[in-house]
Structure 1
């Protein structure tokens, strides 16, 4: 059975002057089943990276106060609906709707809400976790997704320079080992240049190492088989320089790429990209 739930995205907006915000949680209620719960961001790295000049204790403080407020509401609603196996009464439904509307009303504060939304689900608790993973943890933003964004940026730059027509996806290697590259310039069916977007802005050094070394290994293997041209370019994004472990991993991967005679530039260095693609 599907139940109608209301939910709202929790936003942290420390500077009203700029309007910049970060999604930091989800609040969800299902009056029909007597369900009310919330989930808030526990890691502060995203906040400190996005609002670099902010004293992170400010975020911790307002989040703690907000969490305590939501806990009080949750306790009140749990008491009003002690048996979630029974259908909610009209009175309890009205209470759930009233308190949810009061929580998410527009306010001038660092913690605010996006417009409330309605969603159908057969399990409100699972749906809360699913919404949190999507809107806060950005579960969709895998390394493949990030590299698609970089590839789109690079392709647009090549298109504006009237060079995109020279590049197309191609598989390099043989039947025993081969790798697909999104941007390859060929002449007489032989690869002349390769451009590969690479996402290395992970906030976990192990993830960065794993993905970076994966591509170092691919390059080594292809070079040993003489399947790569001399002109290979990786366009990369990089981790926050303040993340010492991640940046050390990034620097190590860059050194290995250069040892393989791979040119590496920032994904937004359009001048170097066009120079490489045009030569």
Structure 2
């Protein structure tokens, strides 16, 4: 029997017009301290997002979410955030913000395979929406 590992995750959302509060789920970030794992998966549908607001700069959004991923994985180019430990990076990325790129409140669960769980959560919360 595989050991159950505690994990946390948040849904990554694009909020085209913050004042309206509408959002589109575009990704998942998952953190599992015991497995020393952090993973992120996202997909951006330009056509869908442009339907929400003609003012949304999708190229800038793509750059922003790519830097989000750089920070999540602790890669060079992610500034000071990339140099934080995995827990602090996850907390920073899932902090409440009022920008067009936000995350849900972190949720949690147990898994035997964080990579597979990331894929399952992506399919459930983003899946065919993109």
* TM-score w.r.t. length of structure 1: 0.40
Q: 1:112 offset after TM fit, Å?
A: 0.5
Counterpart of 2:120 in structure 1 is 130
The DSSP-based 3-state class of the residue aligned with 1:32 is coil
Off by >4 Å, runs of 4+ in structure 1? none
Which of 45, 48, 54 aligns to 1:46? It is 48
- Taking the TM superposition and a 5 Å limit, the aligned residue runs for 1:167-246 are none
1:2 is aligned to 2:26: no
State how far apart, in whole Å, the 1-side matches of 2:97 and 2:87 are. 18
Q: Which has the higher helix share?
A: 1
Q: 1:75 offset after TM fit, Å?
A: 3.0
Root mean square deviation of aligned Cα? 2.3
Which of 98, 104, 121 aligns to 1:108? It is 98
Task: From the superposition, tell whether residues 42 and 62 of structure 1 become closer, same or farther in structure 2 (CA, over 3 Å).
Answer: closer
Counterpart of 2:62 in structure 1 is 63
Number of matched pairs: 120
1:120 is aligned to 2:119: no
State how far apart, in whole Å, the 2-side matches of 1:65 and 1:24 are. 13
The DSSP-based 3-state class of the residue aligned with 2:86 is helix
State how far apart, in whole Å, the 2-side matches of 1:134 and 1:118 are. 15
Q: 1:26 offset after TM fit, Å?
A: 0.5
State how far apart, in whole Å, the 1-side matches of 2:112 and 2:16 are. 36
Conservation of the 8 A alpha-carbon contact between 2:29 and 2:40: yes
Q: Which of 1 and 2 has greater Rg?
A: 1
The DSSP-based 3-state class of the residue aligned with 1:98 is helix
Higher relative contact order (CA 8 A, sep 6+): 2
Q: 1:55 offset after TM fit, Å?
A: 4.9
State how far apart, in whole Å, the 2-side matches of 1:138 and 1:30 are. 26
